[in-house]
Amino acid sequence: MNAAHTDTMADATATTATRCEPPLKLVTVSVGEQRIGIAIDKVRDVFMAPVIAAVPLAPPHVAGLVNLRGKIVTVLSLRAVMGYAPDPAAQTVIGLEWHGEAYGLLVDGVGEVIDVAADGLEPNPPNLDGRWSALSAGIRRLQDGLLVQLDTMKLFQPPAGAVLS
């Protein structure tokens, strides 16, 4: 993955960014039609998980467990979190860490790493689906559409949990 996605919009924001704060790098992933950005400093790795061991009785957003080089990773399904039907073919996992435990976020696909301005985040529009707004740090306007920036911490915190269940 190279961090080379630049277009005029990104250029413009990057220029602004140099004035205020250093630009932010986001890993873009997709779930259904929606593009999502995850701050790159939250992402430990990106890996393919052809086999995910399901855990009976687990909450619906837990896709299962994966053995990643001897480490057990708890994989959460972003599709399930967002209320989409599960996609058995999905195997792209974004590695995250929370409280010292290894987590993975199962997504439909992963795109480029983009540079955005640290202050270019807009508040969630009021009509945003509750499931999205519960996890969203805010919305970014890109030239080719809107991007929801994921607040990964909210995946693990009670408010998100309440939405999940």
Contacts with other proteins by CB under 8 A lie at 51, 53-59, 61-62, 64-67, 69-72, 74, 76, 98-99, 101-103, 156
Residue 136: closest CA among 123, 145, 146, 127: 123
Distance CA 25, CA 137 (A): 15
At closest approach, how far in Å is the CB of 79 from other proteins?
16
Nearer to other proteins, 23 or 64 (CB): 64
At closest approach, how far in Å is the CB of 76 from other proteins?
7
**Segment holding 9, helix H or strand E:** helix 8-19
Question: In angstroms, what CA-CA distances link 20 with 12, 15, 77?
Answer: 13, 9, 36
Nearer to other proteins, 10 or 135 (CB): 135
Distance CA 93, CA 32 (A): 15
Nearer to other proteins, 27 or 63 (CB): 63
At closest approach, how far in Å is the CB of 72 from other proteins?
5
Nearer to other proteins, 20 or 58 (CB): 58
At closest approach, how far in Å is the CB of 28 from other proteins?
25
Q: Is the separation of the CB atoms in 68 and 95 below 8 Å?
A: yes
